[in-house]
Amino acid sequence: MPELKLPDLAPEDRMRADLYGLLGRLLCAPPPQELLDQIAGLSGDDSPLGTAINALARAASQADAESARSEYNELFMGLVRGELLPYASFYLTGFLHEMPLAKLREDMQRLGIRRADDRHEPEDHIATMAEIMHGLILGEYGAESAGLSVQRDFFKAHLGKWAPHFFADLEGAQGAHLYAPLGTIGRLFTEIEFESFRLLGKAA
């Protein structure tokens, strides 16, 4: 099988991909100690987003795999349900498995994106959507999925209307310690993405 050739990325697009990757990794499952140690080494500038990255690094340095797992389960799993339901269908309709999920599946099929075999939650989970944006930026799904216009259309259709609200809820969740600064990062980043794609649409 030929090696996948990733596109040459501008530094800002590499940073975008890295942020989506971080969000996807921390939201799909509890982080192992190795990942916590890596996050503890992150550093940001004095911008609001950089300040939130520094806060996440501090929280990761004070956490361990057991406390992170407990927090993740409290926030997203629970005995019946977690404090938050990180699904587009829930945020947009108040119910799970609704039209937002069906539309997402249609677009995933059109773009040649398959759900990972080890995932069992509905595809409109915030972690899956962050991972898809990460892959779109890196060009992992082939020529048909490459380019800012595809990223814009996917974000507008499947993330822009609810992701900032979810991340604001995560930021203020009662059980969030490690995940509170991640909520701040997600809220600020998706707000930046929303405005950038809005301006891109005007320029198109």
CA pair distance 48, 170, nearest whole angstrom: 17
State the number of CA atoms in the 13 A half-sphere of 97 facing the CB.
1
CA-CA distance, 131 to 180, in Å (whole number)? 20
List the one residue out of 49, 15, 24 whose CA is nearest residue 188: 49
Measured distance CA(84)–CA(89) in Å, rounded: 13
| Every domain of the chain and the residues it spans | 11-203
Taking the complete model, does pTM exceed 0.85, yes or no? yes
The number of angstroms, rounded, from the C-alpha of 143 to the middle of its chain's C-alpha atoms is: 22
pLDDT band at 143; cut points 50, 70, 90: low
pLDDT per position as a tens digit, 33-88: 999 999 999 999 999 999 999 999 999 999 999 999 999 999 998 756 899 999 99
CATH, domain 11-203, list 1.10.1040.10, 1.10.600.10, 1.10.3480.10, 1.20.120.160: 1.10.3480.10
Instruction: Report the SS3 class of residue 87.
Output: strand
